[in-house]
Chains A and B, each alone.
Chain A
Amino acid sequence: GENVEQHPSTLSVQEGDSAVIKCTYSDSASNYFPWYKQELGKRPQLIIDIRSNVGEKKDQRIAVTLNKTAKHFSLHITETQPEDSAVYFCAASEGGFKTIFGAGTRLFVKA
């Protein structure tokens, strides 16, 4: 079955710097890769997603890149702000079927 590994587990950056979180997956059939942000005590919320027919996608300060050959994808947050502090999860699924999540990255943005 699918296995998703996520690094780093904790990331601390200065406000205004960039943050990069990396994930690898094992199942070459996976074709949908969402990223979720979860604040303390809250529900996970989708922030960006990418499908396997695309190599990169951007939405304002957030971008995701996908390398299908190497089976890895990354989240890039530029100009980080204190409100970006949260836990970020990557995930992989085949067409929305069983979705496997990474273990999460706790991002701290220091003001």
Chain B
Amino acid sequence: NAGVMQNPRHLVRRRGQEARLRCSPMKGHSHVYWYRQLPEEGLKFMVYLQKENIIDESGMPKERFSAEFPKEGPSILRIQQVVRGDSAAYFCASSPFTAGRETQYFGPGTRLLVL
């Protein structure tokens, strides 16, 4: 059973470009969470999604950031018109979200560098 997959592992963008980060949850997991981690800092919640639904996006900036988890395919975190401050590691996690099985399993992260 493959773990949570993220790609790309490293992404370099110039200011103003778009960044697309992908996350494939573990098999059987229906919920995906995205977090941002700045160097030497903790994990900041961004958004929590179920297939075709955004459950909670309270941690995601209102502008330039969007997330989706379509019926088929991976979850996508999209950052439009990137700025230097968007440089960070972006982790996704997945969980089966059944009673007593709330544990989130993390992917390896995508390290975004904005030049």
Q: Mark A residues whose CB is within 8 Å of B.
A: 1, 32, 34, 36, 42-46, 49, 51, 89, 93, 95-104
Contact = CB atoms under 8 A, between A and B. Distances in A.
A28 to B, nearest CB: 17
A101 B43 contact: yes
A43 B42 contact: no
| Size band of the interface chain B makes with A | 20 to 34
Cβ-closest 4 pairs across A and B: A96-B102, A43-B106, A101-B43, A103-B42
B52 interface: no
Given A45-B106, A96-B95, 11 more contacts: A1-B58, A32-B102, A34-B103, A36-B106, A43-B107, A46-B103, A89-B42, A96-B102, A98-B59, A100-B45, A101-B45
